[in-house]
Chains A and B, each alone.
Chain A
Amino acid sequence: FSTTAPLELTKPQRYFRKWLKTRALQYRDPKEDGQPNYLLHPGLERLPDPHPNTDHPFPNNREFKSQPVLSEEARETIWNSVMIEGLPLKAVSARFSVDMRRVAAVVRMKEIEKRWEKSVSSHVDIGTPTAKTYAKAVMAMLPKANLADTEEPFEPINDIHISSHTQQQLFVPTPESRHFTRRDAAKAFGDHILPVDEKLRIPELLGFEEDIAAGVNPVEARGKFIKKAAMNEKKLAERTGMERRLKEDKITRVSNERFEFRIENINVDWSGAHGRGRGGIGWRYGAPHNDRRAGVVKIPTKV
């Protein structure tokens, strides 16, 4: 039998009361200079940096180094070069040292963005709502590249795939008088190996460099390069247009109130004499479904 009153506070409650009397006193009143009075871990003295170093977005993970991203101005410059000035994609890619696929992606995204800004949304009088605040916040966390002439090149643009056939060491005896070119080197590695000249994404740059080496005026050489790139782009556009037209010729379009019926003209001979040819149209008779087969890709592999 004890007359002492039982202890009603639990251990966390006791610790909290102790903290209130000691460390919590610095948070009782706001700071005199009006600065925020953040609750800090006992070990920490400094507050989180409001302007973090964008090279290392996660300061505790020094291995994570973010690659530079094109800034908003850089994207606008690229779009302007392609759509307003009308330069060929290859010329823009070479000028800014940005991969051609990235240039194309920038132009596509910018076009969508400008279309959204111009459009009138059905709900509101302004254009389609854009997430500009979010974009600004995300861009503030990343290292940016402005594509200025003084900066280092943004990325390599003419890298090629290195075939394993070309990684072997060859000793090909040739006469000294022979002019051994890249094409000869490719043929030495194998009959099916393409020379570098044909693997480059921007092969016109080879001609440009040859002109410079021959002593042609750089401005003139650049003009020649742009003209050649524009001509090749036009040829590619014509070829794509022809392919599209041939495909369209085979399709008959008939509309009713609800749908458009696209009837493509095919040839039953594509299925071959036995009816099982690869080019044959139609669901196969007697062929099993691959739905439950393991190791078969069942989703789209490209968009």
Chain B
Amino acid sequence: MVLKIRLARFGRTNAPFYNIVVAHARTARNSRPLEVLGTYDPIPKRDTYDDSGAPLHKDIKLDVARAQYWIGVGAQPSETARRLLSMVGIMEPKFPPKAPKAKTAEGK
């Protein structure tokens, strides 16, 4: 587990902005990584002139193919990175959505 896919925090105080990076595990959080795969803005935004869809959204940019390659050669994602990668289908989510409970009344 030498390589990690993780978030490097930039932005400003109380306004974080993350770079999704591939880096050696024991380097500093914000040091120059092997590769920047994308960005993650955790602050939800509104669509200024569009009320129709979801009220709040989060913008993520990711090179999916490249991220898939790094996972393939054994880079370990951090918890949030894993969550983001599972949204595009590269990995299984760590906490999968629960299946609905089966009805027990019918069985009797």
**Chain A residues near B (Cβ < 8 Å):** 252, 254-255, 258-268, 271, 275, 280-283, 285-286
Are B38 and A266 interface neighbours, CB within 8 A? yes
Are B36 and A262 interface neighbours, CB within 8 A? no
Interface size classification for chain B: 20 to 34
Are A281 and B61 interface neighbours, CB within 8 A? yes
Tell me, in angstroms, the Cα distance from A283 to B17 when the chains sit together: 8
CB B15 to nearest CB in A, in angstroms, measures: 12
Are A286 and B63 interface neighbours, CB within 8 A? no
CB B35 to nearest CB in A, in angstroms, measures: 6
Are A265 and B66 interface neighbours, CB within 8 A? no
Tell me, in angstroms, the Cα distance from A127 to B8 when the chains sit together: 48
Q: Which of B50-58, B71-79, B98-106 contacts A (4 or more CB under 8 A)?
A: B50-58
Tell me, in angstroms, the Cα distance from A280 to B33 when the chains sit together: 14
**Chain B residues near A (Cβ < 8 Å):** 8, 10-11, 17, 19-21, 30-32, 35-39, 44, 53-54, 56-64, 66, 84, 87-88
Are B17 and A259 interface neighbours, CB within 8 A? no
Number of A-B contacts (CB under 8 A): 75
CB B16 to nearest CB in A, in angstroms, measures: 11
Are B87 and A261 interface neighbours, CB within 8 A? yes
Question: In the complex where A255-B54, A282-B39 touch, is A262 in contact with B32 (Cβ < 8 A)?
Answer: no
Are B87 and A268 interface neighbours, CB within 8 A? no
Task: List 9 extra interface pairs beyond A258-B56, A262-B60, A283-B17, CB under 8 A.
Answer: A261-B58, A263-B84, A266-B38, A266-B62, A267-B66, A268-B63, A282-B20, A282-B38, A283-B10
